[in-house]
A and B are shown apart, each in its own frame.
Chain A
Amino acid sequence: MVGPLLKGLRVTFGHLFKPAITVKYPYEKRPVAERYRGRHVLKLDEDGREKCCACGLCEAVCPAGAITLYGAEDPEFKRSDVGKIAEVYEIDYSRCIFCGYCVDACPRGAIIMTTDYELTVPGPGRGHLYKDKNWLFEKRGGE
């Protein structure tokens, strides 16, 4: 009866000195797969104009209904080369399932997915998970 008890103590004591397998997450990060589907980024073209022409295909194809899109006209062609921009482009990350259909549907390659998976938001409530167009244009992380 005592033997196994001691054996148990030996096992746990042995583990005390084994190197930990923990990844110290905020300080060190694991490598991400190249085709990882993380947060979306709306692309700009070479002239800094928005590529998105608010055609609504991503919105239509989104199985989670996470995308809200309203278009607007850009008569001077300053912000778009086709004269149509997304006035409202919101992704509700509390709904998004990161399936990538929006990226497939986009006829102009305006929306892509990056390897950035750090999407936690501060505070209670889900309002912070509603990301607007400015946030989606931001360049961070894996872009």
Chain B
Amino acid sequence: MPKVVIDGIEIEVPPGTTILNAAQRVGVEIPVFCYHPYLKPAGICRMCLVEVEGMPRLLPACITEVQDGWEIYTNSDRVKDAREWLLEFVLVNHPLECPICDEAGECELQNFVFKFGEPRKRLYDEPFKYPTRYLGPLIVHQMNRCVLCRRCVRFSDEAMGGTDWGVYERGYRTIVGPYERDVFAQKYTFNMEALCPVGAITSNIYRYKTRIWKLDFTNSVCAHCEVGCWLDLGERDGQLLKVLHRRGYPSPWICDKGGYGFEYVNHSERITVPLRREGNRLRGVTTDEALEFVAGRLKGLVESGGKVAALVSPHLTCEDYLLMGSFMKEVVGSDYLDYRLYGGNTYPERPAVDSLEGVEKAEAYLVVGEDLSVHHPVLALSVAKGCKEGRASLYLIVTGDSFLFKFAAEHANPLPGKEEKVLEALASVLGGKDYASLLEGTEVSEDTLKAMAQGLQEKKPLIIGGSRLTPEGRVLLKGVGERLGITPLFLDWGSNSKGAFQMGFWSPGGESVEDILNKCVSGEIKGLFVSSMDLFRDYPNGTLVKEALSNLDFLVVHDMFFTETVAYSDCYLPATSFAEDGGTVVNMFWEAKKRNRAFKPKDESMPLWQVALGLSRKWGRPLGDFGTVEDVTPLVRERLSQVVEAPSTLGGVKAAHLKGDIPALFEYPFYRAGMRTDFCNAFVQLVPEPYVTLNPEYGDELGFKNGDIVIMEVDGNQFRMKLFFRDEVPRGGAIVSRGFSDFPITRALKGLWYRGIELRAAKE
């Protein structure tokens, strides 16, 4: 173990430790630009130069490994001079626009100049000027401010596996940025902005709105997916203006949905007062009136023998599920409640790994049935990490994967709806059975499957079952897992499915959402409570939803916006966003996390648990005396420790709705997945309308061109949209985007996300 002395403090460090890390251990500060704990050291910026006794030159602390007996000085005159000169050189072309720059206040250059620099400028020449580049609605790049630390480029290379973000030109003309794109939105763009030590990359959403020191940051958990990244919500005057990811946990990186997908909180179209139907109009009423009205109508329905059901978004907190569940089951006496509004008929299952570190440690991965980078983006980064470093190999059975395929050792890209067939074939391969017949019509070659089976048997894989899997698919995957001796990690839609399941927010009879909606159509269920979800946008059967909602006697919708579901409602209750109320959420590893309230609910908005409480009071059977969400949390904790058995869901809907010419997968584009992303202006700008994607070769065969406008026909319904060519789409299939509350694309679906479609060119 080498022993070193840093500024007179002696320390023994393991071999291979850099000077910087050793200094951090003894608490000596060395300024750095290019060093970042989660990126590989680069030694570019020269900010961290230190003096070592006996060395003729100063050494960069971030890449120099210590040797035994070194005496290191971080504060000698030579080091101080070096820092001053370096900062002066950096400032030669750096514009003095701190008053304008959004980074001011958290800018590392600003801090270092204050701490180590000299307040002087000796070059009185015009600084070299670059134009500001507006790279789409997410980020703005201002090369003037860049200190050339290349953190963004290294992130792009190391974590994202390479994008066209790079370094071009030389010397003082060096340019960092995308080479060919004008819009840079690559799912993890937020990290580049966060990594930038200066204001070269800044958020376009937060651009110039307010200063960082005016924001109050509250720790919370992201509401878009199950990974449950910690976020710091920057609030000012009841507006959520900026999100930071300061904890670096569970992963150092977050996705753009977490970083930028919060605009709906401050959306101007948000309705924050209760509305009640009067004829053809919805009129504003007080909360008290609305709750009284809802409780009265529900009570009337129950007393006259009708059934009442509740369908609640899987993005809410455990407290919401617990109290709403108690209200439905104990007060209303209903057996119909569900949270699986994205469709599908599976319940959460306990995973084999307990953290993202566990995922990163695996030697191989088998991912089936989900584009991880869309629905669990940070998990996708963790999976990619090992593969990028060459430690692990990745096997994909995913239709149209848009990110992980770059890292895959073997990528089975079956036609839409055939993922489970390929999975069955894989199981057969592993079992030594005949599988050739199973692969018919899947567009997956036998070689791929063979190589995949071989790879899986060589290394112990982590099996990840995506949210698209049906109950039968899960059984198959479990079979594969058993053969390899592994429990799979099953993923679900929504950010708190595990919590909803654990709180018992599902029908005891095992009815799926489809069953409930069918019961609405048949008239058995007369009243429905929908919370925080536009059924028309997310439930994959728009026709059924329409029929069910128009057949109801009474529909209450608890939401933030006037969605199409609200248009059918008899009463609208305003909901809070995730920033306006605390609570407990359970992430994909069944880890309970606490969300904190960043600011108070806007106007009359109420979280679901308060609605349930208010309704129970108006009903005459109060659920209890809870003042804040913290009063409910102990009950949630108690429930979380219990073991909950899920009912069997096998034998439900089958993937058999494939008619028509082209099998199509209806998948969310990344910037449309997650909670209320269609009310985030930046995301709407990025993906303004639905589109169809085809494999270029297949598109050529069909006689289309990239960018054509086509008519998609399903069941006689015609949808007019744009067509794009993407390499990741399997030949012979199509991928149609969904997740648009203002475009009735779910009408084309029948309970699953596969559907045969017909495409033809639109006549102008």
Contacts and interface: CB of A to CB of B under 8 A. Distances in A.
A92 interface: no
Contact of A54 (B97, B134, B208, B213): B208
Interface string A48-78: 0000011111011000000011111101000
B209 A69 contact: no
A126 interface: no
A108 B99 contact: yes
B1 interface: no
Given A59-B214, A60-B213, A53 B99 contact: yes
B241 to A, nearest CB: 9
15 contacts: A53-B100, A54-B100, A55-B98, A56-B213, A60-B213, A60-B214, A68-B237, A72-B208, A73-B207, A73-B208, A83-B100, A83-B132, A84-B100, A107-B99, A108-B99
A9 B207 CA distance: 75
B214 A57 contact: no
Interface string B200-218: 0000000111110110000
A82 interface: yes
Given A70-B209, A84-B208, A56 B100 contact: no
Contacts of A107: 99
A69 B210 contact: yes
Contacts, number: 40
Contacts of A82: 97, 100
Contacts of B104: 55
Interface of A: 53-57, 59-60, 68-73, 75, 82-84, 107-108
A55 B99 contact: yes
Contacts of A73: 207-208
A57 B99 contact: yes
B211 A60 contact: yes
B97 A56 contact: no
A72 B100 contact: no
A70 B210 contact: yes
A55 B211 contact: yes
Name the residue in A73, A75, A107 with the highest tally of chain B Cβ atoms < 10 Å from its Cβ.
A73
Contacts of B97: 82
Given A53-B99, A68-B237, A73-B207, 13 more contacts: A53-B100, A54-B208, A55-B98, A55-B104, A56-B210, A56-B213, A60-B213, A71-B208, A72-B208, A75-B134, A82-B100, A107-B99, A108-B99
Nearest to A57: B99
B102 to A, nearest CB: 9
A69 B213 CA distance: 12
A71 B207 CA distance: 8
B142 to A, nearest CB: 10
A70 B211 CA distance: 8
A56 B208 contact: no
A108 B207 CA distance: 20
A140 B99 CA distance: 28
B539 to A, nearest CB: 39
Interface string B87-105: 0000000000111100010
Nearest to A68: B237
B207 A56 contact: no
A56 B209 contact: no
Contacts of A69: 210
Nearest to A72: B208
B209 A71 contact: yes
Nearest to A54: B208
A107 B100 CA distance: 11
A110 B99 CA distance: 12
Interface string B176-218: 0000000000000000000000000000000111110110000
A82 B213 CA distance: 21
Nearest to B210: A70
Contacts of B134: 75
Contacts of B98: 55
Contacts of A72: 208-209
Contacts of B237: 68
